[in-house]
Amino acid sequence: MGRVEDAVRDYAPPQDYKTGPLNRLSKRAVRKLADAIVQFGEMLANVRLYPYQKEMAFRICHSVISSDTAEITGLFARQSGKTELVAVTINALMVMLPILARYVQDPRIQKFKNGLWVGISTKRLRCMTGPTCACIPITHAGYWPMRR
């Protein structure tokens, strides 16, 4: 067993932890997984999302996991954390989905076993917080597959 499996076994309630791969995620499991990915994103980015941001992040995660191909529109006021919301959500999805694909045999998750493609429609991608500050033209953005 690896460190991740040991941590899950130590902290997860016994009824939630089952050994072996999962074949198909139920609707409830998809909702729980989307919520867990949002929580992981908050821990990863070391930020606390507001309730309205969490609701939108949950919807994005749920849409990606369930493959419902929904076009999601968020109408938020200026300076309300739209970019932060997308950054936290996408980072969490990019980390968690390839890892989950190792353990969950659901075809909706298996398609992420080599990584997650992310497209951002903007002229410039700005990172204005954190230890590094960069301005990257969108032509330099790309796909970075999982390394083994």
Q: Please write the tens of the pLDDT for every residue from 39-78.
A: 999 999 999 999 999 999 999 999 999 888 888 888 888 8
Asked if residues 92 and 41 have their Cβ atoms less than 8 Å apart, the reply is yes
Within 10 angstroms of residue 93's Cβ, the number of other Cβ atoms is 23
For all residues of the chain together, what is the average pLDDT?
76
Does residue 92 carry a pLDDT above 70?
yes
Give 105-115 pLDDT, tens digit per residue: 888 999 998 88
**Cα 102 from Cα 139, distance rounded (Å):** 31
